[in-house]
Amino acid sequence: MTSPTGRKVTANIALTLDGRYNGPGGPGDISAILPYATTEVARNHLTRIWENATTALLGRVNAEGFLGYWPTVAADENADPRDRGYAKWLVDTEKVVLSTTLAEAPWERARVANAPAADVVAELKAGGEGDILVNTSPSITKALLATDLIDRLHLLICPEIAGGGQRLFDDGLPGSRWKLTRQETGELGETALVYDRVR
């Protein structure tokens, strides 16, 4: 639901055809996704994901991975301009990291929240402006889908079946209806989709 401040909650993630965000090798097994992450369609999709967002909501593991990698891209003048744009946004934007183990954030413009995702989103929606982006953090996305707090889903569907690994859409989620508002397919068969929640 859109807040009094007009802030929307958006989420992005790349999935295989069988709905998985990693393969049978565990969280680091993204071999079925990696070949499609730097295509023209994927890079244009990435730009659309962050262009209206003013807050990134991250899990600790994602924060550690992203903030260990993307600042070097932001500083790399030879990087693809779309990658660099995203990297600069991630470095400069407000970041809220959900964690039960971190006492304080080791990154600039970041704070740690040790609270349920729904409570953190309610606090963020009560003030500020711009979208709140759940940035490739499946555990947070799942929690917010379970409480019907996501307004827009950005999905990159990769044309491979992983055959094992973790799925985004687990059994037990409440039923919901979504409207396809954008679709683009790349040369490798990857498809960038944007779905808005119908309420």
Listed by start position, the domains of the chain span: 9-198
Burial class of residue 178, CB neighbours in 10 A (0-12, 13-18, 19+): middle
Of the candidates 46, 30, 126, which has an alpha carbon nearest to the alpha carbon of residue 89? Answer: 46
pLDDT at 109 over 60: yes
Q: Is the whole model's pTM more than 0.85, yes or no?
A: yes
What pLDDT shows up at residue 70?
92
How much is the pLDDT for 6? 87
Q: Could you tell me which CATH number the domain at 9-198 has?
A: 3.40.430.10
| Cα(116)–Cα(171) distance, integer angstroms | 20
Percentage of the chain modeled with pLDDT above 90: 89
Backbone angles phi, psi at 171, to 5 degrees: -60, 145
